[in-house]
Amino acid sequence: MPLTGDLLAMAKSESKQPKFKNLTNKFGDSLEKLFIDCRFEGLKCNLTEFKYFFHPHYGNCYQFNTGFNYFGEIADLKRTMWSDRLLGLRLILNISLSESLKFMNPNTGALISVHNQTAYPLDELTVGPKTETNIALSRTFYESQPKPYSKCDGKTNDVNSYDSEYYKIVHKNTKGYSQTLCVYQCIQKFFIDGCSCSLDSLPSFYDSYLCTQTKENNDCL
């Protein structure tokens, strides 16, 4: 009998706890299972070009063109002048899910995040099964002059510029500073100190238990 109601919510929350991370790695999609075909600029990809990334909410994820390969070695960034969909990154994914795991999430599909290689994936696009999905985008970079001409600090690329716990933990876990992630870590630390758990609705770089639906946590939250 499938889990429902509070039991289902508790099972989902418990599955995200740090003690289950190794099991998530084991039972989550492997690189070989997930990618049926991959092509970039018409040429077949090598799966070692994908970097493994463990997402606190979604488990096993794989990043393309991060500047690192699957083994964590530095790799050249790929650049292209083409905007044609046939010459971009093309993927065929196997997003099938074992029946025994469907109680964790009734939805089937994939989540795609398109971001700069120095940024943490915060926003996702949903891709349904048995469909062809085309994703096109344009981007604009804005750059401000440092203080006193703006409120922008000009040394955020240096991990030693600021003696801040949140500033340093963002640098430790990403390839560049993000004010949004810094604020999220501040919020998470507030709940960790006050409730001994972190929120599963925000990214957290702290090794802590997630807040579950128990009486103690509900009273604290």
Residue 183: give its domain's CATH number.
1.10.287
Residues 60 and 153 in one domain: no
Residues 103 and 151 in one domain: no
Q: Domain range spanning residue 181?
A: 142-221
103, 137, 171 - which closes a domain? 137
Residues 54 and 87 sit within 8 Å (Cβ to Cβ): no
Total domain count, the chain = 2
Residues 82 and 160 in one domain: no
Residues 207 and 115 in one domain: no
Burial bucket for residue 50 (CB in 10 Å: 0-12, 13-18, 19+): buried
Residues 57 and 85 in one domain: yes
- pLDDT per residue of the chain (221 residues) written in tens, 0 to 9: 344 445 445 555 555 555 555 555 666 788 999 999 999 999 999 999 999 988 767 778 999 998 889 988 888 989 888 888 888 999 999 988 777 666 666 677 899 999 888 788 888 888 888 889 998 888 888 888 888 888 787 788 888 888 999 999 998 888 778 888 999 999 999 999 988 888 877 888 898 887 876 656 666 76
pTM of the model: 0.70
Residue (of 209, 61, 68) closest to 220 by Cα position: 209
Burial bucket for residue 64 (CB in 10 Å: 0-12, 13-18, 19+): middle
Residues 131 and 23 in one domain: yes
Residues 132 and 148 in one domain: no
Residues 28 and 123 in one domain: yes
Q: Which residues pair with 37 in a beta bridge?
A: 92
Q: What b/e sequence results for 159-197 when a residue is b if at least 16 CB atoms lie within 10 Å of its CB, and e otherwise?
A: eeeeeeebbbbbbeeeeebbeebbebbeebbebbeebeb
137, 159, 185 - which closes a domain? 137
Residues 87 and 166 in one domain: no
Residues 113 and 170 in one domain: no
Structure-token pair, residue 200: 């599963």
Predicted local confidence at residue 4, as pLDDT: 47
